[in-house]
Amino acid sequence: MAEKSVFEKLHVGERDKNDLPSVLEQLNLPPKFVTFVREHKRLVQSTTILLILAVVMWSFYDTYREKQMQDGADALAIALELTGAEQIARLQMVSQEYAGTNPARWAALHYGLKLVVQEVPADDGVKRLAATRQKVAETSSLFPLITVSLAQAYERDDRREEALQEYQRLQDLRGYEFLGFNGTARIYEKSGERALALAEYEKCLGTLDPVSQRAQKAIIDEKIARLRALK
């Protein structure tokens, strides 16, 4: 008579369904393992339940963190569209409400750089930022943050050529393409160069995920529609 395969479907009677060690024996598992389960049946059951609960809780937490990241990214994008005191207040809100996420860390750093620029004379603030960037490697996470602050400081002071150069620099930095194209588009729009502004806003859309970055996409779509209506 041929030996039973461990993969052969077993019939387990109703009486044996709650007898875990008996089921394990029928699965041809090592005797020592079966003995351990038999002697520590309650412990094994409790541990199994805890493991299942841990997996379920981790799944819920992972979903929550993913939603926090997406909501934080949307909130940050909206904050960067603002100016002056309103922008600073919104950046502070993002850094607190979405604490622990990358958008929150970005908002906190950007908020700090904004304060540096505001607390000293404008020219001195810009010079300090430019000098600081010279000491920072392009691979540093601070490099694009300082570049964004410089671009916005130049734009605030209506130094459009300098602002344009900084925003164009951002277009080549991974993860900051959206800010770069959005900034150049805004400069062109202020200068009355509608065709160039429209082209840059359309490039913005190419940097966005239409699902996870719905808020940013809606803002750019509205700007594109407005410019096309003016043609």
Q: How many CB atoms are closer than 10 A to CB 142?
A: 14
CA distance linking residue 25 with residue 229, whole number of Å? 76
Q: Which residue has the higher pLDDT, 69 or 137?
A: 137
Chain segment 12-31, per-residue pLDDT in tens: 444 444 555 555 555 566 66
pLDDT of residue 224: 93
Please state, in angstroms and rounded to a whole number, the distance separating the CA atoms of residues 220 and 217. Answer: 5
What are the pLDDT digits (tens) for 170-197? 999 988 999 999 999 999 999 999 999 9
| Per-domain residue ranges of the chain | 71-230
- Selection from 18-27, 61-70, 128-137, 217-226 with the highest mean pLDDT: 217-226
End-to-end CA distance of the chain: 87
CA distance 99 to 92: 10
| 151 exposure class (CB count in 10 Å sphere: 0-12, 13-18, 19+) | buried
pLDDT digits (tens, 9 = 90+) for 98-130: 887 777 777 776 676 666 556 555 566 677 778
Which CATH code fits 71-230?
A: 1.25.40.10
Give dist(CA 190, CA 184) in Å, integer: 10
Report the predicted TM-score, pTM, of the whole model to 2 decimal places.
0.53
Residue 162 in tokens? 């300098």
**Mean residue pLDDT across the chain:** 77
Mean predicted confidence (pLDDT) in 147-151: 87
Residues 6+ apart with CB under 8 A from 101: 65, 68, 69, 72
Single-letter amino acid, residue 56: V
- Averaged pLDDT, 77-85: 78
Q: What is the pLDDT of residue 12?
A: 46
Residues 121-146 have a mean pLDDT of: 76
CA distance 152 to 145: 11
Mean pLDDT of 48-64: 70
pLDDT value of residue 124: 66
Res 10: pLDDT: 46
Residue 27 has which token pair? Answer: 């699965």
| 185: nearest Cα among 147, 227, 146, 148 | 227
- Give, in degrees to the nearest 5, the angle at Cα 200 between 117 and 104: 45
